[in-house]
């Protein structure tokens, strides 16, 4: 009986081996696709927002000097870089120096803006990403413990404080308290958009990936003929 069972098992195994191999290939490809994503090696994310090839939503926001800025004013002139962020987002803080480097390198040919949004990890209030208070270990260690601003003036004050602390000179556009621009662009804590001079999204990263972003930036600046 044992010999019969072994022969049967061998026949069954050989019959199902191609199926199992095919299933393994499908699983592996799916795993790689989820892990790598579609945007220059950036991981997939759960946030929405316009994708590459979509028309970028227009916005009308003010900088810290009170000057009103719209996306359409750059149409036909130069590309726009838009990065979402808030002081209490550790990823934003970690990558702000890389953003500063890109701004210093390409800022005369490309319009750079930080879209300052709702705080990702406020003290004493629910995080917009968990529905509960979520004070990260990085924030505790660095003393980045701030309440969610309750007014536009409070948000602007926190923007100024963060710029000084992070030594950032990248222009900031402050979202209104209804967070309308943030929602239009997907509601991510540190998304990155490269928008061409026609108003189309050329690259979207759910999480700002500076090396991949610079590669796309160089490609768009080398297009022939240049429009800026």
pLDDT at res. 44: 52
Instruction: Give the whole-angstrom CA distance, residue 155 versus residue 138.
Output: 21
Q: Is 45 contained in some domain?
A: no
Shared-domain flag, residues 78 and 116? yes
Q: Is 47 contained in some domain?
A: no
Q: Is 49 contained in some domain?
A: no
Domain that holds residue 18: 1-36
pLDDT at res. 227: 46
pLDDT at res. 47: 82
pLDDT at res. 48: 83
Shared-domain flag, residues 124 and 65? yes
Shared-domain flag, residues 18 and 65? no
pLDDT at res. 114: 98
Let me know the angle formed at the C-alpha of 208 by 43 and 112, rounded to the nearest 5 degrees.
Answer: 155
What is the number of domains present in the chain?
A: 2
Shared-domain flag, residues 174 and 113? yes
CATH of the domain at 104: 3.40.30.10
pLDDT at res. 45: 65
Q: What are phi and psi of 215, to 5 degrees?
A: -60, -45
Instruction: Give the whole-angstrom CA distance, residue 93 versus residue 90.
Output: 5
Question: pLDDT tens digit string along 72-91?
Answer: 999 999 999 999 999 999 99
pLDDT at res. 222: 86
Query: How would you classify the pairing of strands 111-116 and 172-174?
Result: parallel
With a cut of 50, list the residues of the chain below it in pLDDT: 1-43, 225-228
Question: pLDDT tens digit string along 167-189?
Answer: 999 999 999 999 999 999 999 99
């Amino acid at each position: 009986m044992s010999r019969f069972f072994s022969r049967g098992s061998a026949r069954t195994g050989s019959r199902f081996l191609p199926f199992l191999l095919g299933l393994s290939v499908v699983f592996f490809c799916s795993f790689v696709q989820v892990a790598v994503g579609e945007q220059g090696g950036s991981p997939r994310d759960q946030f929405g927002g316009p994708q590459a090839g979509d028309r970028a939503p227009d916005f009308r926001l003010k900088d810290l000097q009170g000057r009103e800025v719209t996306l359409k004013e750059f149409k036909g002139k130069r590309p726009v870089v838009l990065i979402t962020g808030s002081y209490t987002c550790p990823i934003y803080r970690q990558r702000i120096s890389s953003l500063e480097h890109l701004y210093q390198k390409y800022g005369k040919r490309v319009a750079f803006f930080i879209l300052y949004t709702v705080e990702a990890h406020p003290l004493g209030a629910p995080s917009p990403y968990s529905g509960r208070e979520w004070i990260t270990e990085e924030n505790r260690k660095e003393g980045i413990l701030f309440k969610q601003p309750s007014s536009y003036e409070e948000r602007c004050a926190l923007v100024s404080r963060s710029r000084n602390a992070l030594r950032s000179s990248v222009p900031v556009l402050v979202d209104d308290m209804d967070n309308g621009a943030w929602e239009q662009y997907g509601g991510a804590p540190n998304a990155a958009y490269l928008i061409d001079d026609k108003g189309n999204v050329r690259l979207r990263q759910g999480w700002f990936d500076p090396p991949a972003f610079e590669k796309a930036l160089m490609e768009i600046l080398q297009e022939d003929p240049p429009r800026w």
